[in-house]
Amino acid sequence: MTTVDSDTAIPSLAGVASLVSERGTVETPTKVDVRGLSFYYGDMRALEDVSIQIPEKQVTAFIGPSGCGKSTFLRTLNRMNDIIPGVRVTGTVLIDGKDIYGASTDPVTLRQHVGMVFQKSNPFPKSIFENVAYGLRINGLAASKTELADRVETSLRAAALWDEVKDRLSASALALSGGQQQRLCIARALAVEPEVLLMDEPASALDPIATQHIEELVFQLKTNYTIVIVTHNMQQAARVSDRTAFFWLGKLIEFDLTSRMFTAPTAKLTEDYVTGRFG
């Protein structure tokens, strides 16, 4: 049964993945260095001793079955979990060598540098312009009205949305389609010029065309940003990422170049998962 799956699915994936591996083999500096991270919701341990080095200006994908901790882990990287009561983190997360859980790190400042895009697009119930301008305003990143307008435009262009919305910037963001809303959320995150962009299943609620737009965007954005993307969709991980991490029951099982993860994984669990034997 399952061999049929792997015979049909894997060769096509491997074809895509091998293109990525050409780039992936180049050694790049580490942007996010996580050492021995465990995470608890109350008494429940959601992550156990995770260590991973996420390379700069590449796309790293987190895959794994539901509840494996991949989203929780993503949210430890910008301390988004801090707003949930009763959680606890142990271990260290270094971004550019600085411990983000250290006493001198302010989570508010951290989140300017580590942006986030959520699974369900969540534009503010304001105009398209105001959605992108919000982050610039609260962080005091634009000195004048013209600078603000310029930076909003730059961000919308970077998120490949400018041409679709340039004539209706004052229209409500909620009037956009699902895919456009998600790209608006990406534009909004890019506006504050983060260095790392975390994406939590950004295309899971979108149709195939909108998904393709997002994936193309991710591919372009890695020139300037370190991207970490959580996805349920293994083809997506294979298409967009340079490296893939496989999580299972709160543990990081394997982390390697995406091409290797999908063709010759070391762990039996990884192989079973990427070939569709469970999950």
Partner 1 sequence: MTRRQRNHWLDLALHGAGLGATLLGLGVLAALLFDIFSDGFGRISWDFLTSFPSRRAENAGIYAALLGTLWVITLTAMLAVPVGIGAAIYLEEYGGRGRWSRIVEINIANLAGVPSVIYGLLGLGLFVRTLALGRSVIAGAATLALLALPVVILSSREALRAVSPALREASYALGATKWQTIWHQVLPVALPGILTGMILALSRTMGETAPLITIGALTYVPFAPDGIWSPFTVLPIQVFNWVSRPQEAFLANAAAGIIVLLALLLVMNGFAAWLRDRYQH
**Residue ranges binding partner 1 (CB under 8 A):** 78, 80, 83, 85, 108-112, 115-116, 118, 120, 122-125, 134-135, 138-139, 185, 188-189, 192
Closest separation in Å from C-beta 180 to partner 1: 16
Q: Which is nearer to partner 1, 135 or 265 (CB)?
A: 135
Q: Which is nearer to partner 1, 19 or 108 (CB)?
A: 108
Nearest 5°: the CA angle 7, 13, 14 is: 90
Closest separation in Å from C-beta 18 to partner 1: 35
Closest separation in Å from C-beta 71 to partner 1: 12
| Contact status, residue 76 vs residue 37, Cβ threshold 8 Å | yes
| Contact status, residue 279 vs residue 86, Cβ threshold 8 Å | no
Closest separation in Å from C-beta 192 to partner 1: 6
Closest separation in Å from C-beta 139 to partner 1: 5
**CA 117 → CA 14, 77, 183, 265, distances in Å?**
28, 13, 9, 29
Q: How far apart are CA 16 and CA 19, in angstroms?
A: 6
Q: Which is nearer to partner 1, 113 or 277 (CB)?
A: 113
Q: Which is nearer to partner 1, 124 or 162 (CB)?
A: 124
Q: Which is nearer to partner 1, 120 or 268 (CB)?
A: 120
Q: How far apart are CA 136 and CA 141, in angstroms?
A: 5
Closest separation in Å from C-beta 265 to partner 1: 32
Per the structure block, which two tokens stand in for 223? 């020139």
Q: Of 274, 253, 256, 252, whose CA–CA distance to 34 is shortest? A: 252
Per the structure block, which two tokens stand in for 62? 């987190």
Closest separation in Å from C-beta 13 to partner 1: 31
Residue 40 CA from chain centroid, whole number: 22
Per the structure block, which two tokens stand in for 133? 């301008």
Q: How far apart are CA 212 and CA 101, in angstroms?
A: 35
Order of strands across the sheet with 226-230? 114-117, 196-200, 226-230, 59-63, 243-248, 251-257
Q: Which is nearer to partner 1, 44 or 175 (CB)?
A: 175
Q: How far apart are CA 273 and CA 246, in angstroms?
A: 9
Q: Which is nearer to partner 1, 128 or 252 (CB)?
A: 128
